[in-house]
């Protein structure tokens, strides 16, 4: 492991270098975060999961930065423009933004107004105007550059200003100044697209909306972005006072009051409107989206953790009900170990309204299997089904619970469900999932893609790889924090145990099936 990486991470995270080095070595060997935090304390100096995850995240950032650094150096070297001074600046850059700013003047471009002006021989004129000599007469200077392609003085001055505008746009000082202005004063504004008032009614709050970008909460920014994606809203991120932003730029680069300085002022105005403002707006769009994604993902992570670590009912005989109106309520029976025993369908609700038949069936199943608890899904007809169950006088006490059925339909159509219950249809599998998640939420929910459990708003709008990685880490963390019962855990639950992979998990389950409990 590179000593440079270790030292950089140590400084950035405020951790001793030896802890960082040992943690990186373990991660490099394929060890998971919970495994390192629980079983390699002596190597890491008892770093917790959060610290190990931070080391992993920051290491990935540095790796990506170095890959980009190498690509940039290679590109500039191929152009024959890499000086020792430029190499030092690039190698000293600590962020992607710094790197991209240094690369911008050397980045291969499509044809631009400035490149056309250079081809027409106007760069010396631009250089002379940039000197801003008070006694210069720009019109007279421009006459020396007239050609068939540059027929008028106005064309010559416009071309020279195009070159200056591009150079100001590529100047790191100018870009950092605008970043500062945007960070302090940027507003996010949204307006409805003409003619989309009815189609976009759900975005009505944002039809004519404006607020400081730094105050815009994650959920609001993601809602506005979704409206823009659906072509309902037009969104802009701009400084509150654009005239002041241009003035600050001009104060930085305009050196006098003569005619040449006036040309530079015009070039800076054009630079801001045409190049710099759109470029920095894109940066702030991206950075604000990243921040909103992070905040939203943090909420998803917290909600998922609470859901996974909900207290299990334990080993009790359970009746699981997936409620519905027209298609009826699917009813399944599970023994105390969660094994599926039988299933049926009742139709207590409209349009069939077979209330008496439903009561009789439920009463019969409760008596036959000694049912101790009923789990009713919280979807369509859930409340009505709860009311029905509570109104039945069972022969012995039965606890009745509303179970969160988010993701049950995803599970029922999954390969995991088909493997577990090849002879039953999706409706039966969904009801089994509802019953089992009451008995042991963690053991059942690990079978479902975390994104499908419904743990927050806008989960399809945030960075998907980041969301998946964060939610998978939560599942892994939860499984390892509570442990599993080796004799009852499913193959899918065992794969989340630190140190076990899918193959070993399958071997454990197969051995258990052939030889009995451990």
User: How do residues 5-19 score in pLDDT, each as one tens digit?
Assistant: 899 899 999 999 999
Same fold across 113-303 and 318-515: no
Q: Which two tokens stand for residue 336?
A: 């105390």
Of 7-11, 220-224, 355-359, the one with minimum mean pLDDT is: 7-11
Q: Which whole number is the average pLDDT over 24-38?
A: 91
Specify the pTM: 0.83
Residues 70-122: tens digit of each pLDDT: 999 999 999 999 999 999 999 999 999 999 999 999 998 889 999 999 999 99
CATH of 318-515, one of 3.30.70.240, 3.30.365.10, 3.30.420.140, 3.40.50.300: 3.30.420.140
Q: From the centroid of its chain, how far is CA 399? A: 40
Mean pLDDT score of the chain: 93
Q: Which architecture characterizes domain 113-303 according to CATH?
A: Orthogonal Bundle (1.10)
Say which CATH topology domain 3-106 has.
Arc Repressor Mutant, subunit A (1.10.10)
> For the residues 264-284, what does the mean pLDDT come to?
97
Check residue 176 and give its pLDDT.
96
The pLDDT-based confidence of 289 (bands split at 50, 70, 90) is: very high
List, in sequence order, the alpha helices (H) in 144-253: 153-169, 172-185, 218-229, 242-253
pLDDT greater at residue 410 or residue 375: 375
What CA–CA distance (Å, rounded) separates 321 from 403?
A: 9
pLDDT at 231 over 90: yes
User: CB atoms < 10 A from the CB of 279, how many?
Assistant: 14
Residue 462 contacts residue 293 (beta carbons within 8 Å) = yes
Separation CA 129–CA 66 (nearest Å):
39
User: Element (H or E) spanning 101, and its range?
Assistant: helix 96-103
Which pLDDT value is given to residue 1? 54
* Average pLDDT, integer, range 322-341: 94
Q: What is the mean pLDDT of residues 461-482?
A: 90
Q: Which two tokens stand for residue 262?
A: 């006036």
The domain segmentation of the chain, as residue ranges, is 3-106, 113-303, 318-515
CA 131/CA 495 separation, integer angstroms: 68
Taking only the tens place, the pLDDT of each residue in 115-158 is 999 999 999 999 999 999 999 999 999 999 999 999 999 999 99
Q: In terms of pLDDT, which residue wins out, 25 or 4?
A: 25
Find the helix or strand (DSSP H, E) in which 344 lies: strand 340-346
């Amino acid at each position: 492991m590179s000593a440079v990486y270790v030292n950089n991470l140590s400084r950035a995270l405020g951790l001793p270098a030896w802890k960082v080095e040992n943690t990186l070595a373990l991660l490099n060997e394929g060890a998971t975060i919970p495994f390192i935090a629980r079983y390699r304390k002596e190597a890491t100096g008892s770093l917790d999961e959060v610290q190990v995850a931070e080391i992993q995240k920051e290491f990935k950032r540095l790796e990506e930065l170095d890959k980009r650094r190498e690509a940039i150096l290679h590109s500039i070297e191929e152009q024959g423009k890499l000086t020792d001074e430029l190499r030092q600046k690039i190698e000293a850059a600590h962020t992607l933004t710094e790197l991209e700013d240094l690369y911008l003047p050397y980045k291969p471009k499509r044809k631009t107004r400035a490149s056309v002006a250079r081809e027409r021989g106007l760069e010396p004129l631009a250089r002379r105007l940039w000197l801003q000599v008070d006694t210069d007469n720009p019109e007279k200077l421009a006459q020396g550059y007239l050609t068939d392609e540059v027929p008028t003085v106005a064309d010559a001055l416009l071309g020279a200003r195009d070159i200056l505008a591009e150079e100001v746009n590529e100047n790191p000082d100018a870009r950092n100044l605008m970043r500062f202005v945007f960070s302090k004063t940027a507003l996010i504004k949204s307006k409805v697209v003409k003619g989309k008032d009815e189609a976009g009614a759900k975005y009505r709050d944002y039809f004519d909306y404006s607020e400081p970008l730094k105050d815009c909460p994650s959920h609001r920014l993601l809602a506005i972005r979704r409206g823009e994606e659906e072509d309902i809203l037009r969104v802009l991120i701009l400084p509150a006072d654009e005239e002041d932003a241009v003035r600050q730029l001009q104060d930085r680069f305009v050196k006098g009051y003569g005619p040449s300085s006036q040309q530079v002022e015009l070039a800076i105005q054009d630079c801001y409107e045409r190049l710099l403002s759109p470029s920095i707006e894109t940066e702030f769009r991206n950075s604000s989206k990243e921040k909103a994604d992070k905040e939203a993902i943090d909420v998803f992570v917290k909600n998922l953790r609470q859901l996974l670590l909900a207290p299990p009912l334990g080993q009790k005989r359970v009746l699981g009900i997936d409620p519905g109106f027209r298609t009826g309520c699917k009813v399944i029976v599970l023994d105390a170990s969660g094994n599926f025993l039988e299933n049926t369908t009742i139709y207590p609700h409209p349009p069939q309204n077979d209330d008496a038949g439903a009561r009789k069936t439920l009463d019969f199943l409760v008596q036959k299997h000694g049912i101790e608890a009923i789990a009713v899904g919280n979807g369509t007809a859930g409340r009505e089904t709860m009311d029905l169950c509570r109104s039945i006088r069972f022969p012995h006490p039965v606890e009745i619970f509303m179970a969160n059925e988010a993701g049950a339909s995803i599970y029922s159509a999954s390969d995991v469900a088909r493997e577990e219950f090849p002879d039953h249809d999706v409706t039966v599998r969904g009801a089994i999932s509802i019953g089992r998640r009451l008995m042991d939420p963690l053991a059942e929910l690990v079978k479902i893609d975390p994104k499908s459990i419904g743990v927050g708003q806008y989960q399809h709008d945030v960075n998907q790889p980041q969301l998946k990685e964060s939610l998978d880490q939560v599942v892994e963390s939860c499984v390892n924090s509570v442990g599993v019962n080796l004799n009852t855990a499913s193959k899918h639950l065992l794969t989340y145990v630190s140190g076990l992979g899918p193959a070993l998990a399958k071997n454990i389950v197969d051995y258990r099936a052939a030889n009995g409990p451990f």
